[in-house]
Amino acid sequence: MRQGGKEELRASVLKTYLLRVRTEKGERFVRQLLVGAGIDPAAVDNETGWVSQLAAKRALRAIADLLGRDAIRHRGDWVTHSEALGILVRMLRSGEHPVDAYRYLAENAREVTRIGTWDIEEGEPGKGLRPGAHESVRMTYRLRADGGEDAERADPDGEELLCNARAGELASLPRIWGLPEAEITHEACLAKGGDACVYAVRWEDRRSRRGLVLGVVGGATASGGIVAGAGGPLAGLLAACLGATLGGGAGILWDRSRSERAARAFERNRIAALERGLELRGDGGATPGDLTGSVLGGKYRIGRKIGSGGIGVVYAAEHIALGHEVAVKVLRGAAARDGGEIARLRREAYIQVHVEHPNVVRVLDLDEMPDGSIYVVMERLVGRSLADKLGRDGLLTPVAATRIFIHVCGALEAAHKKGVVHRDLKPGNIFLCDDGVAKVLDFGMGKLASAESLTQTGYTLGTPEYMAPEQCIGAQVEQRTDIYALGVMMYEALTGELPIVAQSRRELLDLHQRQIPVPMRVRRPDLPIPEALDAAVMQCLKKRLNERPKGAAQLEQLLAAVPLDGLPSSYPPGIGRRPGGTRRPKWDQNANTVTGPAANDAADERDH
């Protein structure tokens, strides 16, 4: 089927409109529209494909006749439809704010058009305390020297449709961040004799404090006006101050809620784009088999499997050129197709690359296999997890536990300085190397202070036994959230028992809010637990954030000050977890716990 002219525009120029037509009119109508425009329907199924500008104009005319010309300028929510996101994969891997999308478009114009270029002129962002604070750019589209300018001048109506489609694209980009559509002012137009199309783009800044300002002003005005009319100016002034305070507080909560909704929308769209990218390559259903003996990325020769779980497989491997041993973690099964797990593995790699500390496992590489499966290359660790050691030995002596948890504090302090909260500290994520070093694993659920959350408001993320009270209710987490989880681990490691247990997940989350654990020296009077160590652990388990140690560095100091002289470095056989000691109940962990990719799932393995 001949389109007429060269293939010069990405099919994404039509995709959002066709998705709307398909929803409102049906698939058969879409096929007829495309055939009438001279476009093979298969060419548009993949939004990263190419169509000619002549065929695109014919299709846009048909769409405008059907939906109205205004629909070309306003794509609406269709821009975030899963089938329209494949073209955005590269941009969403690096973009953090809407302005990044416009920068990317200007720098990578050839990804969407072979006949034009984009230039960007950035405006001053809105001041965050002003109602309706905004950001702005000016985008200029010019035809290339060989872009068919004569043909454009001969078809001003078709060029106007393309101009409107470009405006629709620019207006829709903030929606990916969960924001309203951008305002577009078309300052110059090729279809009207201009040398270029110039679009002034203005969109809402999601970091603005509009709720705070409106709350303060509204609260002060309403309260002050009502009271002043009844009680005089002084009473009105006091009421205005009180109203401003209450209104400001409500505004802050509204701003925070709005920001979190936008963050979730962006994360959801980013993951959907990644999934769509895999689908377009025909890899969405790929499930890697046994990789033993294969070579990944031309660099890593895969050896034996050293760990596996429901979502990940860990292999021993060797760097072919350098000869050193590494560990390779590969998503498998449903996780290889799950955008959430892919995002967590990427986040884990990103965080562990940027948090450089001897007690954080080092990430060396992250890439994709030819079938689209994601893998991450890490330093090879030899030893076993803390979960494995506790499962076999029952508990640790204060001497052994203090050494291990001082190492964990060092890792957490390094992560917290980078704005990272781990959010899933548990014995399975602490690896005890044979050389005596303890390392923190699996930052796949770690939250960057500047990054987006992977969860919805009110939805808990983590392992229930180790979750802080604020985490149990889905509230904002911070570094002292990790301190609570570390306190639970220390309590379990030193006593052989969890500080709080329940028969259901719901009950456990509730008890973390209100139950005060029994001190370790009371729970296990038969063990030589120093009073200072007991006090440090119990301080970590405080319900209020401000009553816990201020950070991992302060906790490390408390642990280092514990007197250990004369205490055994190991317990004799028979001293361990008490018969009938409390362990986590056997509820359905998969249904009630959200976890990142397993870093060392095989408890009986000696290396990672």
DSSP 348-396: HHHHHHHS--TTBPPEEEEEE-TTS-EEEEEE--BEEEHHHHHHHH---
Which amino acid, 399? V
Residue 473 lies in a domain: yes
How many angstroms from the chain centroid is the CA of residue 546?
27
Shared domain check, 321 and 273: no
Catalytic site residue 388? Answer: no
Residue 606 lies in a domain: no
* Per-position DSSP letters for 70-117, written without gaps between them: HHHH--GGGGGSGGG-GGGHHHHHH--SHHHHHHHHHHTGGGTBSSEE
Shared domain check, 375 and 391: no
Query: In whole angstroms, what is the distance from residue 573 CA to residue 420 CA?
Result: 40
Which of 379, 396, 414 delimits the end of a domain? 379
Residue 189 lies in a domain: yes
pLDDT at 48: 80
Residue 287 lies in a domain: no
pLDDT at 461: 53
Tokens of 281: 């390559």
CATH number, domain at 161? Answer: 3.90.1520.10
| Contacts (Cβ under 8 Å, ≥6 apart) of 314 | 305, 306, 307, 308, 327, 328, 329, 330, 598, 599, 600, 601, 602, 608
Asked if 265 and 177 touch (Cβ cutoff 8 Å), the reply is yes
Q: Minimal CA–CA distance to 171: which of 184, 161, 158?
A: 184
> In the block, which residue shows the tokens 């990940």?
312
Total Cβ atoms within 10 A of residue 290: 10
pLDDT at 286: 39
Query: In whole angstroms, what is the distance from residue 136 CA to residue 187 CA?
Result: 14
Query: In whole angstroms, what is the distance from residue 422 CA to residue 446 CA?
Result: 4
Total Cβ atoms within 10 A of residue 496: 22
Give the CA radius of gyration of the chain. Answer: 29
Tokens of 41: 């329907």
Query: In whole angstroms, what is the distance from residue 168 CA to residue 63 CA?
Result: 14
Shared domain check, 320 and 177: no
Residue 252 lies in a domain: yes
Residue 289 lies in a domain: no
Tokens of 188: 């110059």
Shared domain check, 215 and 114: no
Asked if 402 and 579 touch (Cβ cutoff 8 Å), the reply is no
pLDDT at 115: 87
Instruction: For residue 412, give the 3-state DSSP assignment.
Output: helix
CATH number, domain at 339? Answer: 3.30.200.20
Strand order in the sheet with 430-433: 383-385, 430-433, 438-440
pTM: 0.50
- The domain containing residue 139 runs over which residues? 7-204
- Residue 136: DSSP 8-state: E
Residue 601 lies in a domain: no
Shared domain check, 159 and 13: yes
pLDDT at 589: 35
Query: In whole angstroms, what is the distance from residue 16 CA to residue 171 CA?
Result: 13
Shared domain check, 182 and 57: yes
Asked if 42 and 50 touch (Cβ cutoff 8 Å), the reply is no
Query: In whole angstroms, what is the distance from residue 564 CA to residue 55 CA?
Result: 80
Q: How many domains does the chain have?
A: 4
Shared domain check, 542 and 474: yes
Shared domain check, 514 and 462: yes
Which of 224, 250, 280 delimits the end of a domain? 280
Query: In whole angstroms, what is the distance from residue 78 CA to residue 535 CA?
Result: 56
Q: Minimal CA–CA distance to 34: which of 483, 23, 51?
A: 51
Shared domain check, 556 and 521: yes
Q: At what angle do helices 210-231 and 233-280 cross, to 10 degrees?
A: 160
H or E element, residue 42: helix 41-45
Which amino acid, 133? A
Shared domain check, 232 and 300: no
Within 281-371, residue ranges assigned H as helices are: 339-354
> In the block, which residue shows the tokens 């052989």?
496
Query: In whole angstroms, what is the distance from residue 323 CA to residue 326 CA?
Result: 9
Residue 2 lies in a domain: no
Shared domain check, 137 and 82: yes
Q: Give pLDDT < 70 ranges for the chain.
A: 1-7, 123-133, 146-154, 206-240, 242-244, 246-261, 275, 278-289, 308-312, 331-353, 370-372, 444-462, 576-608
CATH number, domain at 444? Answer: 1.10.510.10
Shared domain check, 180 and 139: yes
Q: Of the listed 424, 442, 534, 607, which one is catalytic?
A: 424
Q: Minimal CA–CA distance to 554: which of 418, 430, 409?
A: 409
Tokens of 539: 């301080």
- Phi/psi at 201 (5° precision): -115, 130
Which of 379, 395, 422 delimits the end of a domain? 379
pLDDT at 295: 87
